[in-house]
Structure 1
Amino acid sequence: MTDTAQPFDADREYDLVVSRVVPLGPFKYRPRDKIIAKGSLLNRIVEEHGADAIRTAEPR
């Protein structure tokens, strides 16, 4: 990814739903689960799997 901009506030929490299975470290995030995640995790997902890997991310 050539754009270095971080689309999510790294310290803020979000309600996350992914659009497909997203393996990240020892975890697999699945589209059926609603996850509470920090923006830093969302930024990593975008960096490694693309923005289309995130279905929704609503700030808490």
Structure 2
Amino acid sequence: MKFKKNNQISDKNFLRLTGIKHTTFNKMLEILKIEELKKRFRRGRTNKLSLENRILIDFLQN
């Protein structure tokens, strides 16, 4: 399930699907974007998935 699709669902359904609220998800996203910018200059393969989708995958796997 992609983030764009999840961003359009209600808060109640998002909570049911992921276990966290939209506001918590957005705060986590802000923090991780800052860390991602710090990590950008390291070597390695670039990610094909967006940060939002990677976070959702982690929540949906657990």
Instruction: State the TM bucket, normalised to the shorter chain.
Output: under 0.3
TM-score if structure 2 supplies the norm length?
0.26
**Which structure shows the bigger proportion of residues in strand conformation?**
1
Query: Which has the higher Rg, Structure 1 or Structure 2?
Result: 2
TM-score by length of 1: 0.27
